[in-house]
Amino acid sequence: MKKSNFHYVLGIAAFATAAIAAWFSVTGLGKLFAGAAISVMIMAAVLEFAKLVVASYVYRYWKKINFLAKTYLVIAIVILMTITSAGIYGYLSGAYSETSSKLQISNGEISLLDKKKEQFKQRIVNTEQNINKKNTRITSLNNLRTSQEVRLDSLYARKSYRQAKIVESQIKDADSEIKKLTKETDSLLNVVNGYNEDISKLDLDVTGKEADNLKGDTAPLQYIASLFGTNMDKVVNFFMFLLIFVCDPLAIMLVIATNRVILENSEKDEKIIEVPEVAKKIEPEPIPEPIKKIDEVVSYVSNDKGEFKPEKKEPVIDLAQKIILDDIKSQGISHNASYLKFLEVLFKNGDAKIGDVLPFYDAFLEQLAIANLIEIKYVTEENGMSKIQVLNNRDKEVRDFLTICNLFKITDMSGKDKKIIKDYQLSKDIISLLSK
């Protein structure tokens, strides 16, 4: 990518970043002030645009703005950046709250299921305690029944029939109670099994909801939160502040960077014309005293009232100028009506002043083409660089014109900064000498 086109890339990046920041900010402020959302969003959008313009203005004219205005504008930019950041935070926090509320509802449902599981587990514990009591009673009755049966045999052996009948009645009562307790125990075991099945179903429900949470929008945040041993809200706030710190300040810096590159490119375009090698080769011998101006012959005549008035005559060519004219003509450079038009372009229609820096040679050719004085085309060389080519063999006219300007000291090509050193009117008079 050419350096001259880099400001387009910077401009696009600045516009995109500023647009994204503005969208988040304007939407977020609209949510914060829902009662007058449209009005607030319009105001915020205008302020966002104004902020970028003010940032560009402050950067470009920093040295020309007075202290009070400069202080106010900088403070205004900082406040607007703070407002933008608040709007972005409002938008992001609102988006997170919607996702977070779904997760909270799911976690609440999981909590209710866990409470139900605890209730079932407590019921199982109580039921098992009851079963254990009944089993203990059954064991006692079985032991009692066994001892009664032994006693019954001894009573019949002693022929104590009355006592034997009483023991038989007690054995029957024990058998009846054992059967009853056994049925109750079996029933309680069925209840315990039912509770266990309910707990299994609840476990499946909890697992399903937890799996849904891991598949949801907050899954990465939950993972990061667990990784750092903190809650998800802190993780989200950390990321939101990172986005706020980067988004709008980066947009402002990109705008400033774009302005800087544009200004640097403009300064390069305003640099001086490179003197063609032809002009350098035909530089005449140094003249002892540089020409400061064209001498004019002035005579005085009287009018009807007897007053004397000066009357200008044609400029006189001194010896130094004649030497230059002869040298120019010896090089095959003759008068050309286009030279005055070229001079007009060089002096920006007379607006250029002594000391102004000249443009590059290619830039000067482009200015002549814009003025419809020459035709040019852009040619790509083997190294990939673009070069301007003058059509219709008019390249020599431009180079001859620059040679004339150099020799007559209209322009100074000797120093580092190539500048204009004669005013426009005097330069026109000098160029007109070629037609004499």
Per-residue pLDDT of 383-434, as tens digits, reads: 667 778 888 778 888 888 888 888 888 888 776 677 888 888 888 888 887 7
Domains in the chain, number: 2
Burial, 251: exposed, middle or buried (Cβ in 10 Å; 0-12, 13-18, 19+)? buried
Which residues fall within 8 angstroms of residue 100, CB to CB, at 6 or more apart? 218, 232, 233, 236
Q: Tell which wins on pLDDT, 433 or 46.
A: 46
How far from 62 is each of 25, 260, 268, 377, CA to CA, in Å? 28, 12, 21, 39
Residues 231 and 86 in one domain: yes
Q: What is the pLDDT of residues 101-110, one digit of tens each?
A: 776 777 788 8
- In this prediction, residue 422 carries a pLDDT of 86
Same domain, 238 and 361: no
**Closest of 259, 251, 236, 201 to residue 51, by C-alpha:** 251
Question: Could you tell me if 258 and 307 lie in one domain?
Answer: no
Specify the pLDDT at position 294: 43
The verdict on 234 and 285 lying in the same domain is no
| Percent of the chain with pLDDT strictly greater than 70 | 78
Facing residues of 299 across strands?
311
Better pLDDT: 301 or 392 = 392
Q: Which of 269, 299, 334 is at the close of a domain?
A: 269
Q: What integer pLDDT is reported at residue 406 of this predicted model?
A: 84
> Considering the domain boundaries, does residue 194 fall inside one?
yes
The pLDDT of residue 76: 92
Instruction: Extract the tokens encoding 389.
Output: 């080519």
pLDDT of residue 72: 93
Whether residues 255 and 330 fall in one domain: no
Distance CA 233, CA 366 (A): 61
d(CA 291, CA 324): 11
Domain for residue 407, yes or no? Answer: yes
244 and 306 both lie in a single domain: no
Structure tokens at 290: 């540089």
Q: Is the pLDDT of residue 295 over 60?
A: no
Give pLDDT tens digits for 1-30. Answer: 455 577 788 889 888 888 888 888 888 888
CA–CA separation, 84 vs 311, rounded Å? 72
Q: Are residues 111 and 259 in the same domain?
A: yes
Q: What pLDDT band is residue 219 in, cutting at 50, 70 and 90?
A: low
Identify whether the C-beta of residue 90 lies closer than 8 Å to the C-beta of residue 40.
no
If asked whether residues 219 and 318 sit together in one domain, one would say: no
- Per-residue confidence at 173, pLDDT binned at 50, 70, 90? confident
Contacts of residue 327, defined as CB under 8 A and 6 or more positions apart, other chains included, come to: 282, 284, 407
Is residue 313 a part of any domain in this protein? yes
The pLDDT, as a whole number, for residue 215 is 62
Mean pLDDT over each residue of the chain, to the nearest integer: 77
Tens digits of residue pLDDT in 330-346: 666 766 778 888 888 88
Same domain, 120 and 251: yes
SS3 letters across 319-375: HHHHHHHHHHHHCCCCCCCHHHHHHHHHCCCCCCCCCCECCCHHHHHHHHHHCCCCC
Which residue, 230, 246, 269, sits at the end of a domain? 269
Q: What is the mean pLDDT of residues 349-364?
A: 84
Using the predicted structure, report yes or no on whether residue 254 has a pLDDT greater than 60: yes
Across residues 168-182, what is the average pLDDT?
83
- Residue 261: which domain range? 1-145+183-269
Mind listing the pLDDT tens digit for each residue in 82-101? 988 888 888 888 777 777 77
Q: What mean pLDDT do residues 206-225 have?
A: 68
Sequence letter at residue 370: I
Asked if the structure places residue 228 within a domain, the reply is yes
Which tops the pLDDT comparison, 32 or 187?
187
Give the gyration radius of the chain's Cα atoms.
51
